[in-house]
Chain A
Amino acid sequence: QSGLSQPPSASGTPGRSVTISCSGRYSNIGSNSVSWYQQFPGTAPKPLIFGSDQRPSGVPDRFSASKSGTSASLSISGLQSEDEADYYCSAWDDSLNGWVFGGGTKLTVL
C-alpha cells in the first residue's frame, strides 16, 4: 500500500528552526487532515498535531504545522535537545479506506 513520503532524517542546532515535509496524494493529504506524531525510542507515539494545524493541549507552541495541496509540513522552532525523536505524519486515504503513514523522520539536534 502507498504511504506518505518523509525525509528519513533532519537536523538542526539548538535554538534554530527545522521543518519536516510530508508528501502525499489527493486521496490522502489532498482530501483529509494530517496528523503528526512524535516518538521517542521505546515509547508509544505521542500526538503532536491533529486537523493539519491544531495542537493538543500540553504541546508547546514551538511546534506548528500546515498543509497545502498534497503536502504538509511540521515546523519546530527554538530547537531543544529533548526534541530529538522520530516524527511521523499520517492521513486517512479515501482510496485505501485506511490510514497511511510517512516512513518517519529522525530528528537530530546537533
Chain B
Amino acid sequence: QVQLVESGGGLVKAGGSLRLSCAVSGLNFRDYYTRWIRQAPGKGLEWIAFIGSPGLGKTIYYSDSVKGRFTISRDDARKSVFLQLNSLRDDDTAIYYCSTHHSTLPSEDHWGQGTQVTVSS
C-alpha cells in the first residue's frame, strides 16, 4: 500500500522559514519523481516544485511563484522528499501536498494528506 506522509508545516512569521518533509512508503522510490503542489484557502491547486528520479538525473523545476525562495531535495535512502521554504510571504499560506509518480510507466500518481503552512504578517 502506497503511503505519503507530509510533515513540517506550521505557523511562521512573514520572512521566516520552514522545512517540509514527505515520507514515502510502499513503492520503489528511486523509480519515482515527486512534486509539491499547494492549495491556498478556498483556492485551486498550484504546482510549485518538481524533482526527478535518480535515473533521470534528479532534474529540478520550480514555478515562478516560488523560484529563488523554495528548494526541493530528495533522500532516496530515506525515501523522502523535502521542501525548504524561505522568505515566506502571506500568499504562501496554503496546504502543501506532495505527490509522486512513476518516472516512465503510465500510471496514476499518489498524494499525501497535506501539511498546513500559515504565514502571519
Q: Which residues from chain B contact A44 at a C-beta distance below 8 Å?
A: 97, 111-114
User: Which of B85-121 touch A at CB < 8 Å?
Assistant: 97, 106-114
- Contact A102 to B44, CB < 8 A, known contacts A45-B97, A97-B61: yes
Nearest CB in chain A to that of B114: its residue? A44
Q: Do B45 and A1 touch across chains, with their CB atoms under 8 A apart?
A: no
CB of B114 to closest CB in A, whole Å: 5
Say how far B91's CB is from chain A's closest CB, in angstroms: 14
Q: Does A103 interact with chain B (Cβ within 8 Å)?
A: yes
Query: How many chain-A residues does the 8 Å CB contact rule pick out?
Result: 24
Give the secondary structure class of A's interface. strand
Which B residues are CB-close (under 8 A) to A56? 107-108
**B111 and A101 within 8 A (CB):** no
Taking CB as reference atom, which chain A residue is nearest B50?
Answer: A98
- Shortest distance from the beta carbon of A99 to any chain B beta carbon, whole Å: 4
Q: Which residues of A contact B44 (CB under 8 A)?
A: 88, 101-104
Select B106's contact among A50, A88, A96, A98, beta carbons within 8 Å: A50
* Contact A99 B35, CB 8 Å, known A44-B113, A45-B97: yes
Asked if residues B107 and A90 are in contact (CB atoms below 8 Å), the reply is no
- Check: A85 CB closer than 8 A to any chain B CB: no
For B47, list chain A residues within 8 Å (CB): 90, 98-101
Q: How far is the CB of A86 from chain B (nearest CB, A)?
A: 8
Q: When A99-B47, A104-B44 are in contact, do A50 and B109 touch as well, CB less than 8 Å?
A: yes
Minimum C-beta distance from A80 to chain B (A): 21
- Given A44-B111, A56-B108, A101–B64 Cβ distance below 8 Å? no
Q: Does A17 contact B (CB under 8 A)?
A: no
Q: Beyond the given A97-B61, A98-B63, please list 20 additional residue pairs across the A-B interface where CB-CB is below 8 A.
A: A33-B106, A35-B108, A44-B97, A44-B111, A44-B112, A44-B113, A45-B97, A46-B111, A47-B108, A54-B108, A56-B108, A88-B44, A88-B45, A90-B45, A90-B47, A98-B47, A98-B62, A101-B46, A103-B44, A104-B44
